[in-house]
Structures are given as C-alpha cells and as structure tokens.
Structure 1
C-alpha cells in the first residue's frame, strides 16, 4: 500500500453547491496520495402528523421515513463513488452521521485527523444566514484545520 498524504474531508449532500465544491477539489487541488473522507449528514425529519401536529407513532410510517432516508444516503454514496472513479480518485471513507451538518463535519474531520476541510456555500445573505445558520460559517469558525469554502460561481455573497 502506498503512503497516504493529506487527509481531506469534503462535506457533501444532494445540493449543487456540494457537487461544485467536490468538483473544485477534483479539478484543482487533488493529489494522487490524498485520502478522501466524504461526510454526509442526512436530512433531519420531523416525525409529526401534518394534519394534527401530533407525533407519529405508527411503526410503519416511521419505518417508511427511515427507509427513504437510507435510500437517499445510498444513492448519494453511489453518485460520489462514480464521480471519484471518473476523476481517478481513491476514497478512504464515506461517513454518514446524524445531527447538525456543521458540527458533524467538524467532529468527523477532527476524529479522522484531516488536514483540510472543503465545503460548499449556498451564498445566503446576512439575514438568511443569521436566521437559518450557515454550515460553512460554522465549519470555518470551529474547525481544527484549514477550511476551503467554495462559493457558487456567479452568485455574490451579501
């Protein structure tokens, strides 16, 4: 086995912003000895009955929701495995972790001793970022290593 160089964490999800960040890494920063760690946080789901606002307790509904999430995670993993093969990359790990996306990326990158974290940016304005929170802002301010935030081309930050 060859020596592993940098350990690079990339936050991924179903968005075009994550894909652009991944592509930027692959086209501009990738080294042959990099060890990639793709980090995904599945969507949060609210287990409430839409009509009554009460918790859903039927096991069949919960099972259906969890199966749907698992299918999305598997599809995302397959999509990125294919993209890596097309670019000649090797991936160390695909990690799916529940919780807050920013916290998950920082936690996994630190646990995996990553040298660099790459994340996309949705380009939200100040008000939306303040209300909704920003994964890239969180990662930038809490990471133990350098962070590259890839802005979406043609979308200026406010």
Structure 2
C-alpha cells in the first residue's frame, strides 16, 4: 500500500486519557494521507490456538477500520472496543481522508510500544500521560516516561489532568 503519508501511532488503552490523546492527535496532527495507527497493548495471555500464539510474538496484523469497528470481530482479539475511539477515527477517516489501522501487542506496554515504533515503523507516537492506575504505575514506572526516553521516533505526551491543581 503506497502512501506518502506518515505513520502516526497512538498508544491506546481506552482510558479517558488515551481517548483524549487520540482526539488531540486527530484534531492537531493528522493530515490527509496519513496512516493513523492505534497501538493497543494487552496483558500477555496464553492462547489455545496457533494464530494468537504467533501474534503474541509479533503483534497482530495491521487491522483495518472496517474490521475493528466490528465488535464481534474484535472479541476474537479479546478486545471490547470503546465506541468513542472508533467514532473518533471513523470521523477522521471521512473528514481528513486518513487511513486508520490498529495493531495489538501482548506483553509489557513499555517494551511493546518500542517494538511497535521500530516494526511498523512509526514516524511519531502519541501517548496519554496517565493510563494505568496509580498502583500499577508505581510498580511499572510511567509507560510514557519510558517511551519518551527510549523511543527511536518523536514521542508526544498528551497531558490529561484530572481536576485542577493550583
């Protein structure tokens, strides 16, 4: 698929924060012809059937919008998609003529996001600053900080504040 467009990744965990990062990216960054790739990281699981075991290593194939807007189809990946995220990219596809794709990885979000950047490969990645709950964040360290410090492409952290801190 020849496209002069950039490959822009958005790290999605479907938290309000990642939805905000997606919306911000669509509103401020994407241009006609870009590939908008939702990078989803799921916890490692052990799958019975071969296809999923293979993908656990490489990540899923790039999934087109027609497939990921179909919730029954997404159940096979163990995903229950937030309609808000699908709506945002569906509108982007229509209004901005961008190509939305999704890629799912299984494992540690920090490692897998770096893998996505190198393998897809992404020109740029956008990530919300809070996806994980405070406890998980304390254990794992901040995923966004890790990606900023280790990524081989520009990383934009889209800040999402809950409440106003003075």
Instruction: Compute the TM-score of the two structures, normalised by the length of structure 1.
Output: 0.69
Q: Once the two structures are superposed, what CA deviation does each residue of 1:75-124 show, in whole Å capped at 9, x if it has no partner?
A: 32765333211233533521111001121111012111211010001189
Aligned residue number for residue 148 of structure 1: 156
Say how many residue pairs are matched.
135
Q: 1:131 to 1:91 in 2, by over 3 A?
A: same
Q: 1:96 to 1:13 in 2, by over 3 A?
A: same
Structure 2: how far apart are the matches of 1:155 and 1:33? 36
Structure 2: how far apart are the matches of 1:77 and 1:4? 29
Aligned residue number for residue 12 of structure 2: 12
Larger Rg: 1
Contact 1:11/1:18, CA 8 A, preserved across alignment: yes
Are 1:81 and 2:81 counterparts?
no
Structure 2: how far apart are the matches of 1:91 and 1:77? 19
Structure 1: how far apart are the matches of 2:118 and 2:99? 17
Q: 1:4 to 1:79 in 2, by over 3 A?
A: farther
Matching of residues 59-98 of structure 1 within 5 Å? 70=76, 73=79, 75-76=80-81, 79-87=84-92, 88-89=95-96, 90-98=98-106
Give unpaired runs (5+ residues) of structure 2: 49-74
Instruction: Compute the TM-score of the two structures, normalised by the length of structure 2.
Output: 0.66
Matching residue within 110, 118, 135 for 1:102: 110
Contact 1:123/1:152, CA 8 A, preserved across alignment: no
